[in-house]
Structure 1
């Protein structure tokens, strides 16, 4: 798999089955597209190629409307790598690329670079300048240039609504992690590098793993305490995570701190992933550290119970 925009070395002389999209979140709808992509490519005996973009197209086309991201660049590539596709090509999204007509994008990128034999798209695809080109225009292009176009129907949530990145963002912003996980097909997560904190947690019996603050584009749930699963090099461990300020000690900085259950070690500089399972409570100030310690003990009991029930 490659994440480069230099495609000359890809062994696709006989063509490829291609999908194009932003794929933010790589949610269940995206996963359906990817599974179908791999299956169609296998039937044809061709490689499968995902063409995606960085940054998010709206950051260039309409920055004020650009949504917070469910998956940052590396997180998205990690999810796509698990899908079984042959290649991922990341196009730098620029104002020049945004101005491409659909016909020009098909000719210069999908056909010339990938020798596309079939284009597979989700039901809510956007294509060409202004993302306004419809399926019939693409099928007409395919008929003229010799490639097939397949558009997949939506995948629906339990409430009957189509799964979308927009709906998942709304759930996370509102703290509804169960709804977000149902749409994603996995718990919502953040990844990052472990950095040094002020080591105050260990003085009250709750040492924490401190994550570097993610880029502002990354969507975070509301401030509070959460039951989480911590993906460490040694394996997966339960834990409880606090996002937000620490009013008890007068620290207004928004931090991401996790107390890992039943594990200890020096993880500084290690990249870890934190999977949100459930919200335990909101951010609260306490009169002193002893009162905070007592609350953390209660939080631990609740977090362990949630993790045990969802293992």
Structure 2
């Protein structure tokens, strides 16, 4: 175990009800697994434990195929905190861990380290080297090692398609935020720390909150202007966000700038979350600052109208 040692430090002497997975996005399918996990654990009088991995397993076993992430680890933990699970264990995914056979993973990690009494998995779950630990293998191991295996069916979106992280990534990358939100059960979001910008927005009446660049592993929607909800230390506010360059002023760096409606403060250094509600338009150059200011006024009017009818989102930060 030394190469992939897991320091649990959890009070699991009497056992635990466990689920294992990457949980990228913590989408509605994942949420169904987590809600069932909590119910089963409460019925048994045992703690519920989510085991997830960092980095994404494909970053280790096949980096070229590793997808961009819907949720970075810190974002996932914020969502997990709202689900009622007792514990979340973020396990470092290493080549040594990837090399374990499914039986070894069950014996040495799930049973040896987490005292598993019941395992909840989705219908397409697989783990161990080459994902050979499929549902049938798990059931055989459960019978021989006296733990229960509960397999949950897929969750479908209103259009009948099964919800998956892959499908949600396609929606976000294509700018279809409404479809992404259907799968996630909430708007797509990014989190980060407010940093000092060049304060150019103040000169035209639109000061902006500038977010530090997220990890390059984080999936971003296409460049453009968006209506957003802004989760600040003071609460939730509406706003409009420019994602991308600022060609009117000759700035070609990709930036994340948000004008917050009806709020103003020194947020430098604060941790905030931006929820994408709707895309207003693409990024384009204007003839000058006055033309840009006129467009921003139109963007604000459209964003406020959209946000007035959109559902507020819960604070997860």
Shorter-chain TM range is over 0.9
> Which residue of the partner structure matches residue 14 of structure 1?
14
> Which residue of the partner structure matches residue 244 of structure 1?
244
> Which residue of the partner structure matches residue 213 of structure 2?
213
CA deviation digits over 1:51-96, x for unaligned, max 9? 0000000000100000000001100111111110000011100000
> Which residue of the partner structure matches residue 159 of structure 2?
159
Q: d(CA) in 1 for partners of 2:216 and 2:49? A: 30
Alpha-carbon contact 2:25-2:76 (below 8 Å) kept = yes
Q: What TM-score, normalized by structure 2, do the two folds share?
A: 0.96
> Which residue of the partner structure matches residue 258 of structure 2?
258
CA deviation digits over 1:108-153, x for unaligned, max 9? 1100111100010011212111113221111111111110111100
Alpha-carbon contact 1:187-1:276 (below 8 Å) kept = yes
**Shift of residue 237, structure 1, vs aligned partner:** 0.3
Alpha-carbon contact 2:6-2:113 (below 8 Å) kept = no
Alpha-carbon contact 2:210-2:257 (below 8 Å) kept = yes
Q: d(CA) in 2 for partners of 1:285 and 1:139? A: 59
Matches within 5 A, 1:153-192: 153-192=153-192
Alpha-carbon contact 2:49-2:89 (below 8 Å) kept = yes
Q: d(CA) in 1 for partners of 2:119 and 2:133? A: 14
> Which residue of the partner structure matches residue 292 of structure 1?
292
- Matched residue of 1:186: which SS? coil
Q: d(CA) in 2 for partners of 1:11 and 1:216? A: 36
CA deviation digits over 1:155-191, x for unaligned, max 9? 0011111100000000000000000000000000000
Q: d(CA) in 2 for partners of 1:304 and 1:218? A: 27
- Count, aligned residues: 307
1:149 lines up with 2:149 in the alignment: yes
Alpha-carbon contact 1:5-1:90 (below 8 Å) kept = no
Q: d(CA) in 1 for partners of 2:296 and 2:196? A: 21
**Shift of residue 275, structure 1, vs aligned partner:** 0.4
Alpha-carbon contact 2:225-2:282 (below 8 Å) kept = yes
Alpha-carbon contact 2:102-2:132 (below 8 Å) kept = no
Alpha-carbon contact 1:209-1:259 (below 8 Å) kept = yes
Q: d(CA) in 2 for partners of 1:271 and 1:224? A: 23
Q: d(CA) in 2 for partners of 1:284 and 1:299? A: 13
Q: d(CA) in 2 for partners of 1:199 and 1:51? A: 43
Alpha-carbon contact 1:5-1:89 (below 8 Å) kept = no
> Which residue of the partner structure matches residue 137 of structure 1?
137
